[in-house]
Structure 1
């Protein structure tokens, strides 16, 4: 509070989370910006309050992939991109998403401000679901920003290009009940959902598909919601959606799928129930082929928040060939012994932010597959489960590529593994630039695992090839193991793990008189920093 000038700045930072902070100063205090962001990437700011004398948040050049949500802003000068391009400089800002915010008693609401004479670009920006109260000018784009002390060329020598800027409003509401959905849990409402979806998707202005509370909508068959849509779509689920409580397919298909949709926001207080118990029993007794619950394929600028998924027959939620995705505050549950009920699987996707969510399931909370990069996973509660995994990768001699994965500030408990990388012999490619940090582990069988010998014992394994694993950090990992061997690093002699770092790892047995734990390490190179319990013996140099 009450800074002399700007309160908080981030410069040349990446993978940053700001959550639940408060910044205050009198409304007439000069230049007391709340947060300034410059030359930084992969930023998430959420659930915070600003009452100050200038911009609540100001985004400067060199900044990309920023999510700003659930903010209370005012009095202030609003949320701004800029000013940019002063003195003929080149500025670059892109992939900015501001949503679910309240701005009041402010000079401006949402604003982009640039100077004449500058160059560069501002692109791929979305402002949506913003409530504005007593604001002088709610929406501003100004390419003539000036303090009047700087000369402004009569002819603009550099052009500042603004494109793909979206100011999204709720628009028309398409209630599934208006399209003959019944919501009694017995009559199949899948066709009504399809009709409502097609109408919302075809709207030329932003639309909301609404599933009302107090009803239980049966989707009795595999249902595919397809784009592209003509404008952004909100999918508000406040009622419950349920699958049939019977074996309704013999194919490995997906119950509800979303294809080729951009700018979709799915949220609400409802529950999506896959009725998995009958499927798990069939799998255990007859090895039945089971459907997946929900898939997103080829979807960009996608947001999911607050919904609950439960009892998927198999995997609950998957993202394939998606980019710029935010998942926040969702809950996924299934019994701890339910087979293969992963929470989220991510494949061939980039720029993913998963935060503040809860998983209690029978397999991996989150599984990251090949083709995936730039993923931030934070503030997760995971357990019972099989932990958070990269892989499995490289099965059947395939090439795998995974990089820039950051998992932090999370709790994993009562799980088979904690944080894990698993690859098959005979594969190729890489896993690199991975950080696991500030992870609390409780009652986990094996808290830390790297396994380049992953197998289901039915496939022959080659000892010559492996997915290369490098630049992996385990920092500030603490908690308890239910087994004596708490850390298992098994790497290939042909393709060893390189540049591993362990810093401040403190693990102990969960109970008993002897709480000592151990580590097994094979063909791994790197270093330990600070305290590491158990002792992790890494080779120092790799020729």
Structure 2
């Protein structure tokens, strides 16, 4: 009888633990409560990792005709290996040591769950325009999968030099390929894209020399990226390190990102994004946006970026929105950011424009509850830049323990229609931040709130 009571007590304890684990949590950010759907611990454990699933079959691309000599087109072999792995739950598709030339390919959809793509060798992209037709948005794509893992110590090389604008700068001096021979479509592909997938893990691999974005997640849930490396020159155009859009519950950590654009780009439709222990540079920093382009609605919330080191980047932590958009950015925490020779370490720009001239518009993506804690280091132009909308000012901007010193020259912090609080003294003093909140009569009601 006592054994049955002990069993019941144990079962009850397990049920209580599961209930507590699945409940929402709250975290305290700079003196204010911020609702958080996922804490870091719950995000780590929200999806069953591949190690806990017994693998049933392994499919090596060499067994499907791949040569791995860097010259033979192995696309067909990769497709056949994936087709076989796709039918078996928790299978492994193996890319062993070697250099595999692979053209544009999609893995999925409608496969069994928990497939592992084991990358030990090197995959290279074609440099002939014939392989790309009139242009493609992605090169390697994993689509509509559940429990997909890409792991290993291998390399994916986009051979992006043939796509970048100033080709002569990147071609070796003994290259036999002329500019005209290598002319590529104007549409540049993302190297590795995950679309419509849940339970995605990317760990250990390196993506280098991307034609455009290195790694993209679009309409995904429960994503983990760790021990991941990107490597492209700082002047390679539009080569974002990691691009996230319309995705939720994303964890990025312990990674080194060097690229020619944003190290991490967080776009519309994202929530519960947690980034920590990342090195960024060269690049443009970690950015939310640009949001609201062409009058679109953008909703972004619950973003945490902490323990990040940035060196020689255009910006540090940035929020950028276009005039004329709608929606909101809210509940954002940037903490423990170390910057070294960063042009502008802290930036909010609601007048973002990446072309020659943009029209002034009154509507805007609202920005509120933005927290900066312990941001230190050196800058080369402006320490803090807050350019907020005239019609919809930034509100709830708080700064704590800011210590930024010029490594060359000096400019004062800039603020326009930014409201918030200095929780500690700052270096340099940020006296331009307006205290409190704007008058309600001056702030239009937004019918497009998220």
Give TM-score, length-normalised by structure 2. Answer: 0.83
CA–CA distance in structure 1, aligned partners of residues 358 and 343 of structure 2: 27
Aligned-pair CA distance for 1:517 = 4.7
RMSD: 2.3
Is 1:222 aligned to residue 119 of structure 2? no
Q: 1:415 to 1:542 in 2, by over 3 A?
A: same
Q: 1:390 to 1:127 in 2, by over 3 A?
A: closer
CA–CA distance in structure 2, aligned partners of residues 308 and 128 of structure 1: 20
Q: Deviations 1:502-531 (Å, cap 9, x if unpaired)?
A: 1111000114xx6x5520000010001113
Partner secondary structure for residue 389 of structure 2: coil
CA contact (8 A) 2:113 2:148 kept: no
CA–CA distance in structure 2, aligned partners of residues 244 and 317 of structure 1: 18
Question: Residue 307 of structure 1 is aligned with which of 205, 208, 211?
Answer: 205
Q: Deviations 1:3-52 (Å, cap 9, x if unpaired)?
A: xxxxxxx9986689xxxxxxxxxxxxxxxxxxxxxx994334xxxxxxxx
Aligned to 1:76: none
Aligned to 2:115: 233
CA–CA distance in structure 2, aligned partners of residues 493 and 281 of structure 1: 37
From the two aligned structures, give the one with the greater helix fraction: 2
Question: Residue 169 of structure 1 is aligned with which of 54, 63, 69?
Answer: 54
From the two aligned structures, give the one with the greater strand fraction: 1
Give TM-score, length-normalised by structure 1. Answer: 0.69
Partner secondary structure for residue 312 of structure 1: coil
Structure 2: 5+ residue runs without aligned partners?
1-20, 29-35, 169-178, 440-450
Aligned to 2:277: 379
Partner secondary structure for residue 78 of structure 2: helix
Partner secondary structure for residue 164 of structure 2: helix
Question: Residue 83 of structure 2 is aligned with which of 198, 203, 207?
Answer: 198
Q: Deviations 1:310-347 (Å, cap 9, x if unpaired)?
A: 00011111100000000001000101111111011100
CA contact (8 A) 1:299 1:321 kept: yes
CA contact (8 A) 1:170 1:234 kept: no
Larger gyration radius, structure 1 or structure 2: 1
Q: 1:436 to 1:223 in 2, by over 3 A?
A: same
Aligned to 1:502: 399
**Higher relative contact order at CA 8 Å, sep ≥6: structure 1 or structure 2?**
2
Q: 1:352 to 1:12 in 2, by over 3 A?
A: closer
Q: 1:239 to 1:450 in 2, by over 3 A?
A: same
Question: Residue 128 of structure 2 is aligned with which of 213, 235, 246?
Answer: 246
CA contact (8 A) 1:355 1:380 kept: yes
Aligned to 1:526: 420
Aligned-pair CA distance for 1:225 = 0.8
Question: Residue 542 of structure 1 is aligned with which of 438, 441, 448?
Answer: 438
CA–CA distance in structure 1, aligned partners of residues 414 and 356 of structure 2: 25
Aligned to 2:292: 394
Aligned-pair CA distance for 1:457 = 3.5
Structure 1: 5+ residue runs without aligned partners?
1-9, 17-38, 45-63, 68-94, 98-125, 131-167
Question: Residue 42 of structure 1 is aligned with which of 39, 44, 61?
Answer: 39
Partner secondary structure for residue 85 of structure 2: helix
Aligned-pair CA distance for 1:496 = 0.4
Higher mean displacement: 226-235 or 414-423: 226-235
Aligned to 2:246: 348
Instruction: Report how many aligned residue pairs link the two structures.
Output: 394
CA–CA distance in structure 2, aligned partners of residues 364 and 345 of structure 1: 8
